[in-house]
Structure 1
Amino acid sequence: MRKRRTIIGTLVGTVAASLIATAAPASAAPAPAWDHLAFPNGYNKSDETLRDVAATGPTDAWAIGERRLNKPPNISTCGDLSRWNGQAWTDGPMPSYECNGKLIAISAESATSVWTLDSKNAYQWTGQSWTTIPLPVSATGTPFWANDISVVGGTTWIVGRLSNGDKVTTEIYKWQNGSWQRALLPLPAGENTVASVHAVAPDNVWAVGTIDLYSPANKARALVLHWNGTSWNYLPAPGLAPLQTVQLNAVTVAAGQAWVGGALTTYESNNISVKSVNAFLMRRDGSTWTVTPSPEPQPGPASYNGPRVLSLAVHGSEVWAGGSHSVDGRTIGLLIRWDGQAWRPATPTPPFTEYDVKALSSKPGHGLWAVGHGTRVTDPQATGDYVARLTG
């Protein structure tokens, strides 16, 4: 195993938290604080990227991504994995030392049930070692290209696509009783793409993506699918205004409500030039969809890098949304929370000058975890892919 500089998590705002605890009554809940910040790959490592994070408890978390080998003859992309033991981030243990591309996503149900995947295999951590499970292939032998994974109740779900010649089909599989089982999907007309899956219970699984994402006619719209334990159902979203499209990237569930997030693009009258891109957030309560406006600043005309939601997670009683946008060439993190009435800017803000949020993850009672790229407030040279945790 290669050696790598490990930057141990730094407590953020420890002194402030201590003062609050001293002044407040003993029964007062601790104030929210970013109590952990680490750069597992070190600083300024352009060849190593974090993509996702999952935790099973306060002293056990996993961060995955990719490591690029750019020195001939070794030019390839490999998976990369770091693990938090409560004291420090360390390498591995890797699920595979073959370079099958990046590790795409990770999902953790418990310390003995952690799943991740790359372009060829899914990998199950049993508490002691990784078990390799080849991904499905099409009838002609072409591989399944996975976008996301989620595990609950001993069942693992993966979403992605299969290619048969010129035909690309959206697919969902579940791993149960030792085999992949292909789901029958009631997909609407058009070219469908599923980007994210979130399993709440064996009879409550949500998958989201986009219909006609790459249509030259710019008519992309929301795709939401729900598994009720017996069958998958397509849940049509509200129609859009003229010259608008939606791309969905994320889904979560809180208090019986499903939340989906992504980007809303508005075009000029020629339906070609982009007028603006804004964060898109919508919730489903029973059978009703409600679009909920984001508080993030709206970019000016022709902003291709407007705010967009890339990940959703539940922290306590609140739903959190993460992503990024660009303002005057600077990367600005999108991090907002739904307080039950409206979306609010996250407080406290993460300890960065510039940052983005690639993924959010949470475990009840063990904080909200985030991964992305950022620069420390305290050191403008300390830039890299980070893992941060919010508690309280």
Structure 2
Amino acid sequence: MDIPRASARVTLAVAISVVTVPVAGLTIGAGTVQAAPAQWRVVKGATLGPDGSALIDVTATGPRDAWAVGYGCGREKAESCPAIARWNGTQWKSATMPAYRLPAGYDSDLNHFTAVSAASAHDVWAVGNGLNVRVGHWNGRSWSMYRPFGKDGTKSLSDVGIGRGRVWFTGSLNEIGDRAVVLSWSGSAGFTREYTHKGSLAALSARPGTGEIWAVGSQKTGPLVVRGTERGGRVRWEESRTPAIPEGQLNQVRAIGANDVWAVGQIGNPYDWSDFKPLVLHFDGKSWSQVPLPVAKGRITGLTADASGNIWVSGVDPSHPKQVLFMRYVQGAWTTSYGPKLGLPVRHATISGIPGSSGMWAVGRIAGDSEDSEKDFILRYG
């Protein structure tokens, strides 16, 4: 990966006045006086492909085990280049999957992975799209591969989450992405279509230890949030009302507790990234509210919680194009910081906490040397 190595610590000072605003039972600060010194550093990744690469999602089960997925080629050649890498506590290595060996032997019906989720080092799920949709499951010894839609190439999957006794998936039932679907997998029952809705669903979160599922995306009127509640083996689905935000789109969701759910994304024309405004919504158990932010432009593409339960988001800020935007919510206020300079503009960044530590992983993609090429990056905090 041809990305300059950065120092482990980069000191940032951001002068922003504090504005504390009560929002739906929370005290939300719109900014901080000074950002804490950044502790993000570049970590060498695995060799994913011969012609550029990108990472789209990351998950960790502990300090010695993490997974990142994406594709191992540039956008212009984004065919049959699925990529998955694993952290073994010392380094990132390409994770061999059935028929996905580099540089030859790609499976012709799978172009890239879009999401990964892990309950443990022996229970990892990844989803990918191409001519067909593929779902992969790692049991600690080998991969099993599934086609939830058979050989129907008009459908796609966007995210995967592991819940209580089931694995959940969001996706689309058509090529234009305006017919959202939620699937579940429960072993012997295979894949079940649970819910459909007009619009798109980009991500989901299964609240730990419960039968509650949250899925987010967008529809013609703005943000789309769907809630599923399992009782007696059946799931009741309903759309959860959000504030009226025209052109609002949600990319990630995180369910911390019954009265603490977060969703992030952006506001703006999806075909004009330069004019996006970052968007954060919070659910307090009764209603969703828009949360004030210290950054005026950009988009948020990652969301996680650290070991102390503090919310972290990652994304793109056009005022710092070659650095990943990070914002942390602690004690009623947001702290803004930026990762090390990556040499080229950041296009996407997602984030995951590392269980059993105070650390975090962030992965994504930056622009390559030409318009149609990209490069992946991996950052570590703490």
RMSD: 3.6
| 1:257 CA drift (Å) | 0.7
| 1:364 CA drift (Å) | 3.1
1:20-64 CA distance string (max 9 Å, x none): xxxxxxxxxxx9874763231469975211111111111111111
Counterpart for residue 234 of structure 1: 239
Counterpart for residue 169 of structure 1: 179
| 1:276 CA drift (Å) | 4.2
| 1:173 CA drift (Å) | 0.2
Q: 1:105 aligns with which of 106, 112, 115?
A: 115
Structure 2 counterpart of 1:206, one-letter code: W
Counterpart for residue 114 of structure 1: 124
Q: 1:12 aligns with which of 8, 12, 18?
A: 8
Does 1:253 pair with 2:255? yes
- Aligned pairs for 1:179-198 (under 5 A) are 179-185=190-196, 187=197, 191-198=198-205
Counterpart for residue 351 of structure 1: 340
Counterpart contact for 1:95–1:123, Cα < 8 Å:
no
1:349-379 CA distance string (max 9 Å, x none): 423355645211124323221102469xxxx
| 1:77 CA drift (Å) | 3.2
Counterpart for residue 262 of structure 1: 265
Q: 1:84 aligns with which of 84, 87, 90?
A: 87
Q: Relative to 1, partners in 2 of residues 1:194 and 1:274: Cα closer, same or farther, differing over 3 Å?
A: closer
Does 1:127 pair with 2:140? yes
* Structure 1: distance between partners of 2:9 and 2:215: 37
- Aligned pairs for 1:185-334 (under 5 A) are 185=196, 187=197, 191-201=198-208, 202-212=210-220, 220-229=221-230, 230-240=235-245, 244-255=246-257, 256-265=259-268, 276-296=275-295, 298=296, 306-315=297-306, 316-327=308-319, 330-334=321-325
SS in 1 for 2:174: strand
Counterpart contact for 2:324–2:339, Cα < 8 Å:
no
Q: What percentage of residue pairs aligned between the two structures are identical?
A: 25
* Structure 2: distance between partners of 1:245 and 1:157: 27
Counterpart for residue 380 of structure 1: none
| 1:10 CA drift (Å) | 8.8
Q: Relative to 1, partners in 2 of residues 1:150 and 1:33: Cα closer, same or farther, differing over 3 Å?
A: same
Counterpart for residue 370 of structure 2: none
1:63-86 CA distance string (max 9 Å, x none): 111023899xx9833101111111
* Structure 1: distance between partners of 2:273 and 2:58: 33
- The TM-score normalised by the length of structure 2 is 0.75
Counterpart contact for 2:155–2:171, Cα < 8 Å:
yes
Q: Relative to 1, partners in 2 of residues 1:44 and 1:117: Cα closer, same or farther, differing over 3 Å?
A: closer
Structure 2 counterpart of 1:292, one-letter code: V
Question: Which stretch shifts more, 250-259 or 121-130?
Answer: 250-259
* Structure 2: distance between partners of 1:253 and 1:226: 11
**Structure 1: any 5+ residue segments left out of the alignment?**
15-30, 213-219, 299-305, 376-382
Q: 1:371 aligns with which of 332, 343, 363?
A: 363
| 1:137 CA drift (Å) | 4.8
**Higher RCO structure, 1 or 2 (CA under 8 Å, sep 6+):** 2
Counterpart contact for 1:80–1:94, Cα < 8 Å:
no
* Structure 2: distance between partners of 1:274 and 1:149: 26
- The TM-score normalised by the length of structure 1 is 0.73
**Structure 2: any 5+ residue segments left out of the alignment?**
11-35, 101-106, 368-373
* Structure 2: distance between partners of 1:169 and 1:70: 25
Counterpart contact for 1:148–1:197, Cα < 8 Å:
yes
Counterpart contact for 2:313–2:328, Cα < 8 Å:
yes
Does 1:338 pair with 2:329? yes
Counterpart contact for 1:161–1:193, Cα < 8 Å:
yes
Structure 2 counterpart of 1:350, one-letter code: G
| 1:158 CA drift (Å) | 0.8
| 1:151 CA drift (Å) | 1.3
SS in 1 for 2:332: coil
* Structure 2: distance between partners of 1:262 and 1:95: 34
SS in 1 for 2:317: strand
SS in 2 for 1:183: strand
Q: 2:58 aligns with which of 53, 57, 68?
A: 53
Counterpart contact for 1:155–1:175, Cα < 8 Å:
yes
Which entry has the higher C-alpha Rg, 1 or 2?
A: 1
| 1:332 CA drift (Å) | 4.3
Structure 1 counterpart of 2:73, one-letter code: R
SS in 2 for 1:77: coil
| 1:325 CA drift (Å) | 2.8
Counterpart for residue 301 of structure 1: none
Counterpart contact for 1:6–1:42, Cα < 8 Å:
no
Q: Relative to 1, partners in 2 of residues 1:33 and 1:293: Cα closer, same or farther, differing over 3 Å?
A: closer
1:116-140 CA distance string (max 9 Å, x none): 01122100000011011112259xx
Does 1:159 pair with 2:148? no
Aligned residues: 329
* Structure 2: distance between partners of 1:171 and 1:319: 27
SS in 1 for 2:72: strand
- Aligned pairs for 1:129-148 (under 5 A) are 129-137=142-150, 141-148=152-159
